[in-house]
Chain A
Amino acid sequence: MLKRVHFPSSPLPYLLVAPQLAITLVFFIWPASQAMYQSFLIEDAFGLGSEFVWFENFEALWADQHYLDAFLRTAVFSLLVAALSMGVALLLAGFAQRVVRGAMFYRTLLIWPYAVAPVLAGALWVFMFNPTLGIFPYFLDFFGIDWNHYLNGNQAMALVILAAAWKQVAYNFLFYLAAMQSIPNSVIEAAAIDGAGPGRRFFSIILPLISPTTFFLLVINMVYAFFETFGIIHAVTQGGPGSSTTILVYKVFNDGFVGLDLGGSAAQSVILMVLVIAMTVVQFRYVERKVEY
């Protein structure tokens, strides 16, 4: 341990961390504590008065079948988004790594979707899958699939999963590519000499060696699916049809700003916050440490 005497006390360090502290306080701690406080209140329908009710909002959520459904839906949604976008990114990174000529060009193209705003990404997919105008419903018709995500809840879910995964592929791709490039070439060559074909090398050498990246991305993608997919869902389905694409973060918005149940909405966002904090803890405690070589 370094002793205090090594560092003469000075206001400079405090000054240097002050901006970061201020930002954290104003944009995170303050709203979070407000949400926490609000989750203990019930407001009347006109917003004229509120009553402190302790955990009544949480108890109401626990008893609300709609909320429990949304919970399950979110789990399915985020797992599928993470699996799909990571799977596709892994595949693309595997291919991109083998490309020698024009590699920069491909990589740049593959990174572009990340720069697209969520709402725009959603709008893009809405047009492509529009039941009357879209190109994909036209093609799907040949296979006897009647596409209408305005009416069919499962199709709506599939569409938001596709759009959300598509947007995250670029991010995952970057990390996977970097991880693959950090594997010494001679290890791959040794496997090739040992008789392993490209597929076998991928599954028995490359995949285990990039497992730390996979763990990291899994957490990042879950958090992404929990929160940042709001824009996409809002643009594509607005949580519908019915509530078939209403995931937790969308329900927070819907209940709070449409249904005007501020206390219940705040309670939901507190639960979401706890979930994400838990995931971050898992990330730091296990994933960062569990580097396999």
Chain B
Amino acid sequence: MAEIKLTDLTKSYGPTEVLHHVAGEIRDGEFIVIVGPSGCGKSTLLRMVAGLETVTSGEIRIADRRVNELEPSARDIAMVFQNYALYPHMSVRENMAYGLKIRKLSKAEINRRVEEAADILEIRQYLDRKPRQLSGGQRQRVAMGRAIVRDPQVFLFDEPLSNLDAKLRVQMRLEIRKLQQRLGVTSIYVTHDQVEAMTLGDRLMVLNGGYVEQFGTPIELYDRPASVFVAGFIGSPAMNFLPATAEEEGMLLPSGIKLIAGVGQRGPVLLGMRPEHLIPDAAGPIAIEVEMVEQLGANTLLHGKLSGTDHAMVASVSGHVSAEMGTAHRFSVTPELLHLFDPETQKRLEA
């Protein structure tokens, strides 16, 4: 049983505060992904949980035990690093056994655990090799093996897949997910890749500039992004944003067209619509002057500008669409799929 509780956590380097009042509760067995652009403080947050960075203020509790002052070794955690951090002078077996030897487990027990983990990760035939004789994917497995033999209360992953090639990354992603579900160990996973975050996490914590923008399930983040940042960060291609004015009977777009939608707001708003929610409709209100077409096979991306304005727009249409450059395509959008944000605070406005 290891739930993690972060309470009003801040981190400062000298006078510079890099994490601001981070809070959140992670349930036992949950897979949490911390996601955000580089420099948002996500790795710092993970390293604070690991005990590799000190806590400036606030509290971290693992399994209802305050760990702020505990050494990393006393927190009963295991971590997988971005560069794997294998011990280069030890064989795979010794790498995995290192932590167990320190805990003074019996030889037989160490061997049993190492071989069990090696079987799970399918690295048994590499046990006597040195890390330098392994490929990137194999090293990653060893790093995970080193984490799971310890049977810790919490797994921490610090961008473990970012050094792998695209195909291997997708494969390892699935394996990590399956492994975590099988072992049921509470996990925190840091990444800057939103696809990785969406596919892996039970819940996502979106960090931006040291602030938690939103903490929720992938679907919550997609359907009801709490801020312009989350809306733009989650989903690919990114959401379209248009400055608009909310009026009595609809939304006035910068192209002068009025979008008929029930709106509980008045005044200037930032209107967000996802490219995949724009439906081709000859009579639709949104006209996009197409400048570039990306054929992805399953769907087609139409890049262009909102007719008569300089606002860039992307529409994602399923199937193959041939579009002449410079012609206007018309789209409609279901009012429920529109997102409204306050242009001042960048926060979500509820319709």
Interface window among B15-23, B75-83, B121-129, B200-208: B75-83
Residue A273 at the B interface, CB < 8 A? no
Looking at the assembled complex, report how far the CB atom of A137 sits from the nearest CB atom of chain B, in whole angstroms: 45
Q: Which residue of B lies closest to A192 (CB)?
A: B72
- Chain A residues, Cβ within 8 Å of B52: 189, 192-193
How many residues on A have C-beta within 8 angstroms of the other chain's C-beta atoms? 19
Interface residues as binary, B147-160 with A (CB distance below 8 Å gives 1, 0 otherwise): 00010000000000
Interface window among B98-106, B108-116, B168-176, B191-199: B98-106
Residue A141 at the B interface, CB < 8 A? no
Q: Is the CB of B102 within 8 A of A196?
A: yes
> How distant is the Cα of A187 from the Cα of B103 in the complex, in angstroms?
19
Interface residues as binary, B124-153 with A (CB distance below 8 Å gives 1, 0 otherwise): 000000101000000000000010001000
Which residues 196-219 in A have Cβ within 8 Å of B in the complex?
Answer: 196-197, 200, 204-205, 208-209
Contact of B85 among A187, A209, A293 (CB under 8 A): A187
> How distant is the Cα of A209 from the Cα of B132 in the complex, in angstroms?
14
Residue B50 at the A interface, CB < 8 A? yes
> How distant is the Cα of A53 from the Cα of B51 in the complex, in angstroms?
74
Residue B87 at the A interface, CB < 8 A? yes
Looking at the assembled complex, report how far the CB atom of B172 sits from the nearest CB atom of chain A, in whole angstroms: 19
Residue B89 at the A interface, CB < 8 A? yes
Contact of B102 among A189, A194, A209 (CB under 8 A): A194
A190 in contact with B79 given A196-B102, A293-B132 (CB within 8 Å): yes
Which of A191, A195, A208 has its CB near the most chain B CB atoms (within 10 A)?
A: A195
Chain A contact surface mostly: helix
Q: Is the CB of A293 within 8 A of B89?
A: yes
Known: A193-B73, A293-B89, A293-B132. 4 other contacts (CB 8 A): A190-B79, A194-B150, A292-B88, A293-B130
Interface residues of B (CB under 8 A from A): 50-52, 71-73, 77-79, 81-83, 85-89, 98-99, 102-103, 130, 132, 146, 150
Interface residues of A (CB under 8 A from B): 184, 186-187, 189-197, 200, 204-205, 208-209, 292-293
List of 7 A-B pairs having minimum Cβ-Cβ separation, nearest first = A293-B88, A194-B99, A186-B85, A195-B73, A190-B85, A195-B102, A186-B81
A-B contact pairs, 25 of them (CB 8 A): A186-B83, A187-B86, A187-B87, A187-B88, A189-B52, A190-B81, A190-B85, A190-B86, A191-B98, A192-B52, A192-B72, A192-B73, A193-B52, A193-B72, A193-B73, A193-B78, A194-B98, A194-B99, A194-B102, A194-B150, A195-B99, A196-B98, A197-B73, A293-B89, A293-B132
